[in-house]
Amino acid sequence: MRKCKFEDMIDGYLLNKLSERDKELFEEHYFNCPACFEELQARSLIINTIKNHPEVLVSEEASLKVPLATRLKRELAAFFNVRQLAMTGVISLIFLAVIIAVVPKRQALLPDFTLTDTETVRGSSITLISPVIDMNQVPSFFEWKKLGENVEYQISISNHELLWKTTTKENRVVLPDEVKAKMVPGERYSWQVKAFGPDGSLIAVSSRVQFLVSTK
């Protein structure tokens, strides 16, 4: 159906927005045009209802809140121009890429131990202080670098087989006389320290260091 050219005046007429001249023109027109008068009546009913019952249009779900995406877009536009927005995007991407690249490595640094016969050791390490070189005599104590508070250390000394094993919260242990007595000059010994957290989980392992008790 072809639209009457006066149809565009209907809203203006009903909302009292037309000039006096246009108002008269349109009034004369709808006395002559049944199609426009029909449309005028229908729209008048709709507009009157909207004016009398606006709550129908602003119920909770249709509240006049601008859609979130549109609001964000507008607020972003208020802060940045297109170029700045693009730069922000690029910087965010780089930042994201760095995070993605770094996080897995950090995870790899977490203690992860497989202690079998071949003794695969990964994760944090404990630095052994003494003895780390060949000794002139049987060492009277074993010392390592402290890892932190609330850490329990397990020290083991072996030659061909396990010679002695003990636990301590210190970073130093004095070798008991009975063990000392077992260690003889000319023999090669090794020692290792393992650290356990408060919950008993293994958090660090030292490398196994060998030393020779020389015969003098």
Binding site for another protein (CB under 8 A): 11, 15-17, 24, 27-28, 30-33, 37, 40-54, 56-59, 61-62, 64, 66-67, 70-71, 73-74
Complex with another protein: residue 22 or 152, whichever CB lies closer: 22
Complex with another protein: residue 43 or 182, whichever CB lies closer: 43
Q: How far is the CB of 28 from another protein (least distance, A)?
A: 5
Query: DSSP per residue over 80-143, as a string?
Result: --HHHHHHHHHHHHHHHHHHHHHHHHHHHHS---B-SSS-B--S----EEES-S-BSS--SEEE
Complex with another protein: residue 68 or 101, whichever CB lies closer: 68
Q: How far is the CB of 63 from another protein (least distance, A)?
A: 8
Exposed, middle or buried by CB within 10 Å (0-12, 13-18, 19+), for 9? buried
Q: How far is the CB of 36 from another protein (least distance, A)?
A: 10
Q: How far is the CB of 44 from another protein (least distance, A)?
A: 7
Residue 137: name the closest of 207, 209, 211, 193 by CA.
211
